[in-house]
Structure 1
Amino acid sequence: MTVAGQAEAAGGQSARYWLFAGFCVFLVQILAEYWMGRLPICECGYVKLWEGTVNSSGNSQHLSDWYTPSHIIHGFLFYGLGFLVLRRKPLAAKLLLALVIESAWEILENSPIIIDRYRTATISLDYYGDSILNSAMDTVFMTLGFFFAARAPVWVTVVIAIFFEIFTGWIIRDNLTLNVIMLVWPLEAIKTWQSGL
């Protein structure tokens, strides 16, 4: 085998290693949420492709909802982070970093401390956490966003992220930016505006 062939084979094995590690991270997320007592699916007993009502018991329980664009943007951002800090590593290594961050957030988001924070600091008074299915799909949508950002021109990714933020902000008065602000530094003016929906 030539040197080039050996390098190509080594690269393929490396990519498989990073992808396997990423799958393991995803599996840990699901198992951790199960051990935390999260419901596998909506308490309603069925699965919907889309839950379009934000202030409902089905929000954050089904395959997708109005917060799905935020998770796609997570993928955009995590690809950018991976590009900056793992510049010489393969795409699969950058994906592993993205999966570690997203899965850690999903586990934290469904912990009592963050659920209570949502209920006290934001308008999500009835938020009681994600179903395992919804949380897993959040990670899947992050992954889709990651792969999109890896292939698309930067300006296209930025335009889509801005569109998602403006559109969801207009429709449900919430988006990734507002969500972060209200979790980290709640502003009464934003809470009042969001409550007017």
Structure 2
Amino acid sequence: MTSQTDNHFSTRFWLVVTALIILVQVLSQYLMGRIWICECGYVKLFEAGVNTPGNSQHLFDWYTPSHIIHGFLFYGLGWLILRRKPVAARLALSALIEAGWEILENSPIVIDRYRTATMAIGYTGDSILNSGIDMVSMIAGFFFAARAPVWLTIAIAIGFEILTALVIRDNLTLNVLMLVWPIEAVKVWQGGV
């Protein structure tokens, strides 16, 4: 009985930690001057434009699959380094990494890097709403990876990468590549030239 009580307490504790991490993410972005919703004054379910003022401002966009893949990857990382901890502890680690990325991604230095090194010429950063949905998408990916066979998770990640590369000429792999090691030929291809 004590073991079950300890497990229940531990799961609750890590879920509270996860909620606090998300709260810190939102408050940090607010204090950084990020806007709550699109400057257009309304919220769309999906923003299909990539190099538009609405990109990264509404609920979902073509970068949502990247955040789902984050969940796949972070679940795997948590499984590797926190194997003996409850899934909720791995979720807290995943939320910490995602929140750290969301805060960094919306900092002036990274926004400027996106503008200069990638195809995201007019990128202004995420709205707080979009950033929160990015976290929710990561969490959805995390729980999918926790339940699905590894082969299916990998197949879906590859499918997302191919789909977004074909539709918007960008994906998680290209995004990281162009942020860290920009290649002019890739930038030209992404620009549709």
TM-score (norm 2): 0.99
- Residue pairs, 1:40-55, within 5 angstroms: 40-55=36-51
**Cα pair 2:51 2:121 within 8 Å, conserved:** no
Rg: which structure is higher? 1
Aligned length: 193
- Where 2:60 maps in the other structure, the secondary structure is coil
Give the drift of 1:167: 0.4
- Residue pairs, 1:62-73, within 5 angstroms: 62-73=58-69
- Where 1:166 maps in the other structure, the secondary structure is helix
Distance 1:167 1:123 in 2: 18
Ranges in structure 1 where 5+ consecutive residues have no aligned partner: none
Alignment of 1:92 onto 2:107 = no
**Range that drifts further, 47-56 or 159-168:** 47-56
Distance 1:76 1:37 in 2: 30
Alignment of 1:24 onto 2:20 = yes
User: Which of 134, 143, 147 is 1:147 aligned to?
Assistant: 143
Q: Quote the sequence identity (%).
A: 66
The Cα RMSD (Å) is 0.6
Residue identity opposite 2:190 in structure 1? Q
Ranges in structure 2 where 5+ consecutive residues have no aligned partner: none
- Where 1:124 maps in the other structure, the secondary structure is coil
Give the drift of 1:6: 1.2
**1:114 paired residue number:** 110
Alignment of 1:102 onto 2:86 = no
TM-score (norm 1): 0.97
- Residues 133-154 of structure 1 show CA distances to partners (whole Å, capped at 9, x for unaligned) of 0001000000000000000000
User: Displaced runs of 4+ in structure 1, greater than 2 A?
Assistant: none
**2:159 paired residue number:** 163
Distance 1:158 1:103 in 2: 23
Alignment of 1:6 onto 2:9 = no
Give the drift of 1:55: 1.4
